[in-house]
């Protein structure tokens, strides 16, 4: 969430930048400042009351020692009044703090100055494109038909076992899926990311820490008996490793990667654009996460974008990079670049990665700090990116690499699969 001092000192800037998200936050920002003034006033009054009560307690002790019992009892009655006052002030302070935090949790991150204005994904800016779109043979098929033809993904079986959006990968399809995961992890660790195996369920504090709660509560699977949530991305458990942590400046940057299944309830519309692997309730993804010094986080963001580029170049898939507009920007992000791969058989672009800088937005919730050169605690910047999300990468490979004789496996994956073609 946003820092209250930042809001106080940059009120007009915050309101103006949030208009990029098509939000008029004037009333909420003014309310936050008002709640904070109330909180600070009550805190000062409580501190003064407690200080007076402590001073009187010491005086009472001295009076009893000196035998002045009458005066001591007289002052003791005053301390009773102060204790009642401090009790009420503590309750008032908790109420004011809760009201302030409840409103802060509803305010999204302030977009970076270079985020374009816009309402939908149609207003995103294309900033890079690379790769030749292959010319397919006559009778080329979309990936869901290829999956059935070569018996490598069974959507109907997944529907039987669980429901729509839970495919079953089979034979060479399962091998190719596993190959992609291993390849992505190897690329990430070679680039300096430490691999983690992470829990697939998280508690409420973790969801709040990275901003999935309360913003995306309806999109997450909730295990109500234990109040745990199935993860929508490895970003949640991975970033929460650093919740309530104070790092030394010399420990920055921290870079980790991890593979997890991901679970999202958001899928549910109908049509060709969500068929097959295009939108799922359960899917696999490899994530990269960084904790950075605030002065170096945008350089790190550029490095993450360049890293994902190298993977797609090695896979030889046509792709493009979009800078998300304010209306399409995620709740927690200050700046996001989306990668999309071109699906030749579907004749459309498919999102396969988002790479984002959250600046201090998550770190403020997480209380993730580092001790700076002056020895003071300072909020770190957090970043994360998909490297990569598997379903649409797999769809792109199946469709773009199909031939009359079968689906050719990209050269870089053949050492992982042990075969060169699916036929």
As annotated, the binding site includes: 233, 264-266, 287, 351-354, 384
Residues 6+ away with beta carbon under 8 Å from 401: 407, 408, 409, 410
Sign of CA dihedral 296, 101, 40, 17: positive
* Alpha carbon distance 304, 384 (integer Å): 8
Q: How far apart are the first and last CA of the chain?
A: 51
* Alpha carbon distance 189, 307 (integer Å): 11
Contact by Cβ (8 Å): 400, 347 = no
User: Two tokens at 417?
Assistant: 């699969």
User: Two tokens at 86?
Assistant: 């401090």
What one-character DSSP code corresponds to residue 108? P
* Alpha carbon distance 406, 398 (integer Å): 9
What pairs with residue 263 in β-bridges? Answer: 282
Contact by Cβ (8 Å): 312, 341 = yes
């Amino acid at each position: 969430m946003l820092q209250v001092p930042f809001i106080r000192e940059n009120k007009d800037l915050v309101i103006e930048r949030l208009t990029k998200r098509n939000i008029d936050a004037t009333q909420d920002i003014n309310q936050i400042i008002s709640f904070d003034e109330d909180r600070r006033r009550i805190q000062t009054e409580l501190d003064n009351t407690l200080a007076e009560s402590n001073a009187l307690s010491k005086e009472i002790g001295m009076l009893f020692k000196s035998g002045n019992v009458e005066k001591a009892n007289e002052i003791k009655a005053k301390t009773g009044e102060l204790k009642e006052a401090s009790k009420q002030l503590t309750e008032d302070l908790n109420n004011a703090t809760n009201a302030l935090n409840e409103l802060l949790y509803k305010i999204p991150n302030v977009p970076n100055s270079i985020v374009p204005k816009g309402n939908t994904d149609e207003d995103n800016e294309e900033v890079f494109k690379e790769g030749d779109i292959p010319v397919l043979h006559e009778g080329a098929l979309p990936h869901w038909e290829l999956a059935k033809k070569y018996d490598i993904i069974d959507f109907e079986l997944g529907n039987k076992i669980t429901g729509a959006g839970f495919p079953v990968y089979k034979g060479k399809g399962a091998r190719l899926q596993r190959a992609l995961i291993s390849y992505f992890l190897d690329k990430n660790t070679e680039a300096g990311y430490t691999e983690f195996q992470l829990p697939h369920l998280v508690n409420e504090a973790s969801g709040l820490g990275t901003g999935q709660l309360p913003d995306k509560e309806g999109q997450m699977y909730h295990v109500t008996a234990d109040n745990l949530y199935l993860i929508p991305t490895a970003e949640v458990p991975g970033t929460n490793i650093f919740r309530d942590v104070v790092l030394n400046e010399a420990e920055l940057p921290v870079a980790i990667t991890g593979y997890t299944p991901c679970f999202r309830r958001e899928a549910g519309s109908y049509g060709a654009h969500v068929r097959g692997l295009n939108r799922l309730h359960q899917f696999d993804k490899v994530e990269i996460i960084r904790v950075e010094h605030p002065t170096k986080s945008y350089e790190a963001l550029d490095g993450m974008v360049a890293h994902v580029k190298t993977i797609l170049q090695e896979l030889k898939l046509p792709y493009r990079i979009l800078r998300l507009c304010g209306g399409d920007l995620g709740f927690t992000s200050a700046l996001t670049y989306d990668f999309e791969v071109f699906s030749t058989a579907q004749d459309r672009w498919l999102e396969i990665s988002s790479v984002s800088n959250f600046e201090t937005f998550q770190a403020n919730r997480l209380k993730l700090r580092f001790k700076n050169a002056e020895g003071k605690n300072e909020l770190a910047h957090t970043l994360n990116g998909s490297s990569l999300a598997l379903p649409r990468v797999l769809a792109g490979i199946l469709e773009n690499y199909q031939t009359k004789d079968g689906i050719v496996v990209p050269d870089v994956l053949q050492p992982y699969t042990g075969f060169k073609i699916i036929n």
